[in-house]
Amino acid sequence: MSSRVAVIIVNYGTADLAIAAVESVLERDHGGHPVEVHLLDNASPKGDGVALADAHAARHWKDRVHLWLEHENHGFGRGNNVVLNGLAASPVLPDHVFFLNPDAQLQNEAIAILADRLDTTPGAAAAGAGIALPSGRPVTAAFRFPSGGSEFAQALNFGPISRLFRDRVVPLPANHPDGPVDWVAGAAVMMRFSVLRDLGGFDPDFFLYFEEVELMFRMRKLGHQILYVPEARIQHVEGAATDVRTEASVRKPKPAYWYHSWRQYYLKTQGRSGAILAGLAWMSGAALNAPLAKLRRQESRTPKHFFRDFTQLVMRPLLFGRTHD
């Protein structure tokens, strides 16, 4: 019997894109895998809940799509946990859960490809799809875990030095081959439900960002593989659902919850001392980046207000003991 897959799409302020994401799932046959879709609206402020409910009725989704209209914004991980908890209480449990961003769409039978890979690889807990932009350009969807070395090299952004840290650079090439990696993009990743249930789902300390990295870190720590499967293809409007990762806003100030999530990730994976060292590495790289960028007549890639925000939201809590906001 084919494995069962639950698809979870968490929406916030992107109703039109979320509807397109759902339709991209419903129009596929999934190679015979039973698939149910769960669409959760995180209390979007502009009437997305009404728009999604109207679409559910007008498009005759019926019981193929379960609509969750929340009264508060849980964030990404906790929003997914709402549905995961509901699935855990259902009489028929899924074998796998496919997390799909609301600004992403299936370009082929990606769900079947990923489900088949997990079914035939019992040591794997997650499998991520290959991702391309609407232009067709492939983007990175497989990664190494972040470290102090990667933070320094990324912040410095200087070729000769960065090459010394090439084995620690977080993003792997966009054409990275099929196989095990540290973690894969959370925009389109399938996870084994039994492992998710054993781990308690996403860590609720994360509102947005790093939650999927931390979850896959825990999977890897238990000995599970994380697979990158580029044969499964997804189109992703990168950053549309978060308003942070856009090419036109490299220096845009990062929101406070981004710094909170960065701090929590390093605390949970490397401890306080490791988090402090990673923070100092990033600050050192950023401090050196400014004069180097000026010499090269380039704009600094350091986010605006970085030193103020990073000191206040990351380093002070790490150094003086306030690690939860």
Strand-pairing partners, residue 9, are 39
pLDDT digits (tens, 9 = 90+) for 21-37: 999 999 999 999 999 99
Asked if pLDDT for residue 319 goes beyond 50, the answer is: yes
Q: Summarize the confidence of residues 272-289 as an average pLDDT.
A: 94
* Domain locations along the chain: 5-140+176-236, 249-320
Q: What is the pLDDT of residue 324?
A: 55
Show the tokens assigned to 110.
């990606």
Contact 217, 145 (CB under 8 A): yes
Q: Looking at the whole model, is its pTM more than 0.85?
A: yes
DSSP 242-254: TSS--GGGTTSPP
Give the type of residue at 97. Answer: V
Q: How many CB atoms lie within 10 A of CB 291?
A: 10
Rounded Cα–Cα distance for residues 271 and 91 (Å): 39
Architecture of domain 5-140+176-236: Alpha-Beta Complex (3.90)
Rounded Cα–Cα distance for residues 281 and 314 (Å): 13
111 to each of 25, 42, 139, 272, 280, how far by Cα in Å? Answer: 8, 24, 19, 39, 41
Q: How many CB atoms lie within 10 A of CB 137?
A: 8
Rounded Cα–Cα distance for residues 276 and 272 (Å): 6
Cβ contacts of residue 268 below 8 Å, gap of 6+? 203, 205, 214, 217
Closest CA to 95 of 191, 225, 226: 191
Residue 245 pLDDT level (bands cut at 50, 70, 90): very low
Show the tokens assigned to 22.
């759902």
- Kindly report the three-state secondary structure assignment for every residue of 207-227: CCCCHHHHHHHHHHHCCCEEE
Show the tokens assigned to 115.
């489900």
pLDDT digits (tens, 9 = 90+) for 184-209: 999 999 999 999 999 999 999 999 99
Residue 322 pLDDT level (bands cut at 50, 70, 90): low
Contact 235, 134 (CB under 8 A): yes
Rounded Cα–Cα distance for residues 281 and 152 (Å): 5
Asked if pLDDT for residue 115 goes beyond 80, the answer is: yes
Q: Which has the higher per-residue pLDDT, 46 or 110?
A: 110
pLDDT digits (tens, 9 = 90+) for 256-278: 999 999 999 999 999 999 999 99
65 to each of 9, 104, 230, 255, how far by Cα in Å? Answer: 10, 17, 27, 32
Q: What is the pLDDT of residue 294?
A: 72
Closest CA to 282 of 153, 144, 163, 134: 153
pLDDT digits (tens, 9 = 90+) for 73-104: 999 999 999 999 999 999 999 999 999 999 99
